[in-house]
Structure 1
Amino acid sequence: MGEQVVEVHPLWAVVAGGLLLLLALAGAAVDGLAAGRAGGVRGGLGTPVWESARLLRQRRRTTVAADSLLWRIGGGGLVVVALLMVAVVPLGRWTIADLPVGLVWFNAMDVLVWALVWLLGWGANSAHSLVGGYRFLAQALSYELPLMFALVAPAVAAGSLRMGDVAAAQEGLWYVVWMPVAFVVFCLGVIAFSVWGPFSVAAGGDIAGGVLAELSGPDRLLVLAGRYALLAAGAAFAVPLFLGGGAGPVLPGWVWSLLKTVALLAVLVLVRGRLPAVRPERFAEVGWLILLPATLVQVLIVSIVMVGGN
């Protein structure tokens, strides 16, 4: 078995938040670099800096009869949810919260994103924002169930819902090798709840930006940071779930965890420029007719293997 996971002092949550922020900045830099190569305006590794400076100088937009409290909760909550997600992720042998139900905790935080994106759409009191909120809910209904079963497969193989146990159970063979369907569906779920790439129709240009339509200044910056933070949190969670945690030669476990997270985050970020947007009703067909049966078969195979092994 792998190293025993140890809980660190709660004050280390500040360090975890800093690491998540750095990962989000790295994701934004990779996105800016890709946009620059594709002919984007002022793209490059410095894009997060320029964009942050621009939005911090921009005046905060308001709309008539907006529910400002719910609107602000929806925007700021995305970063908070990302921080709560990484609280159960082991960094090598260290974790902030070694919960016995770490997998369920991640799934609960993922579902909380539903409410936050909806509040972004509802709170602005704008037709475009509201349509974007409805689009996200329609999309969420299609990805959530396959994502839940994708989380079940590693839990069945490890015989535990604790993230440290799941990572330790992959000694010698990472789950991504014999659970590729679950891994792909998990990554699609991460992209979807981050309102990213092919699943960013909730913020689509055809509805003037959807849930982002009325956001400007610091409010828009916070939401954009939340999207990158959710991508980073999902990539970090995939490391102990499918990529063996901190397992690797020579380097310490925490270094391997970070390297794997950065590599997967870069892939997730680059998806945006390489896949077209998927309409919610089209994704519903794929989610219910392809992804859900595929993940169920994956869980069945894992269960048979584990029963046979025992």
Structure 2
Amino acid sequence: MTIPVGWAVLAGILLCALAYFAVALDAVLSAREHGLGGGWAAPLSRTARLLRQRRRTTVAADTLLWRIGGAGMFVAAFLMVAVIPMGRWVLADPDVGIVWFNVVDVMVWALVWLTGWGANSTHSLVGGYRFLAHGLAYELPLMFALVAPAIAAGSLGVGDVVAAQDGLWFVVWMPVAFVIYLVGVTGFSVWGPFAPALAPDIAGGVLAELSAVDRLVFQAGRYLFLAAGAAFSVPLFLGGGAGPVMPGWAWMLAKTVVVLAVLVWLRRKIPLVRPDRFMEIGWMVLLPAAVLQDLLVSLIVIRGG
């Protein structure tokens, strides 16, 4: 059921709440690694510190592109939410909802690179190019992973994909596509093994020259993308709002929180991956695996039809 656009405010609030959960959980896990407690209020303290910080800029920076890159990370994540159903309700249910999601995630390439380029700083630019190298490795496997549920449902509409999982979630017989999808989510969120673009060996890379509100907006955008990617995995592979007792929207949130918690937890378990090495993994392992998964799904659909 498509709901009025005014409900987009509530969807935005829910996305921000999920992003807050990701930041807080990450802070809690970091604190426990050092034998400390707390951490749930870390997002508030970090936000306050950055808001008090004085904004700085570099010589001859392209301020417009710089600001577009950072602010775009914040705004684009909300565009993903438009096609994610909350149980029976969705803001927009186009026939090509999966393509819409993919278009928005490809926008991250430009946004991260513009942030690195606009600063007119070597470290920032190197960080931007590192992200592009990672993008070349994860994006095509991600596209093929998104195709698998569409083949099974016979539609690119997110609502149709959810309806096609009646009785059997796609993750059961598309585990490879599900894993590759999560790899793609960590990629466009500049998260976990895909964080060399922000690595300390290049003084923070894309973040090197960002400060105050600019840094806050960019970082918030990363967590919002991580939350949106986790939420989109639920209608694609985990049956959407299907589940006993609780209403559909509650199941949708519960499943999203679980996926998001796993992604945050895995950040400490998987080391950073150099772009050149991951390019080999992406093109020689993930891409063939995704194609084989699509082939298997196609054969099952043809046989079932």
Coarse TM-score class (shorter-chain normalised): over 0.9
Query: 1:42 Cα shift?
Result: 8.2
Q: Which amino acid aligns with 2:283?
A: W
Q: Is residue 9 of structure 2 the alignment partner of residue 14 of structure 1? A: yes
Name 2:127's counterpart in structure 1: 132
Which aligned pairs between 1:131-170 and structure 2 lie closer than 5 A? Answer: 131-170=126-165
Name 1:83's counterpart in structure 2: 78
Query: 1:238 Cα shift?
Result: 0.3
Residues 125/41 of structure 1: CA separation in 2 closer, same or farther (3 Å cut): farther
Distance in 1 (alpha carbons) for counterparts of 2:98 and 2:128: 26
Note the residue ranges of structure 2 that are not aligned, 5 or more in a row: none
> Which residue, out of 220, 226, 230, partners 1:225?
220
Distance in 1 (alpha carbons) for counterparts of 2:129 and 2:160: 38
Name 2:63's counterpart in structure 1: 68
Residues 42/50 of structure 1: CA separation in 2 closer, same or farther (3 Å cut): farther
Distance in 2 (alpha carbons) for counterparts of 1:39 and 1:69: 40
Distance in 2 (alpha carbons) for counterparts of 1:40 and 1:276: 21
> Which residue, out of 298, 301, 304, partners 1:303?
298
Q: Is residue 181 of structure 2 the alignment partner of residue 193 of structure 1? A: no
Note the residue ranges of structure 1 that are not aligned, 5 or more in a row: 1-5
> Which residue, out of 283, 288, 292, partners 1:293?
288
Paired residue secondary structure (1:95): coil
> Which residue, out of 94, 97, 113, partners 2:92?
97
Q: Is residue 206 of structure 2 the alignment partner of residue 211 of structure 1? A: yes
Name 2:240's counterpart in structure 1: 245
Distance in 2 (alpha carbons) for counterparts of 1:8 and 1:237: 18
Name 2:255's counterpart in structure 1: 260
CA offsets 1:191-249 (integer angstroms, 9 cap, x no match): 01100011101111110000000011111111111000000000010000000000000
Name 1:3's counterpart in structure 2: none
Paired residue secondary structure (2:267): helix
Distance in 2 (alpha carbons) for counterparts of 1:124 and 1:79: 18
**What is the number of equivalent residue pairs in this alignment?**
305
CA offsets 1:147-198 (integer angstroms, 9 cap, x no match): 0000000000000111011011111110111100000000000001100011
Identical positions, percent: 66
Distance in 1 (alpha carbons) for counterparts of 2:229 and 2:159: 16
Distance in 2 (alpha carbons) for counterparts of 1:267 and 1:211: 25
RMSD: 1.0
Alpha-carbon contact 1:29-1:45 (below 8 Å) kept: yes
Query: 1:273 Cα shift?
Result: 1.4
Distance in 2 (alpha carbons) for counterparts of 1:137 and 1:175: 30
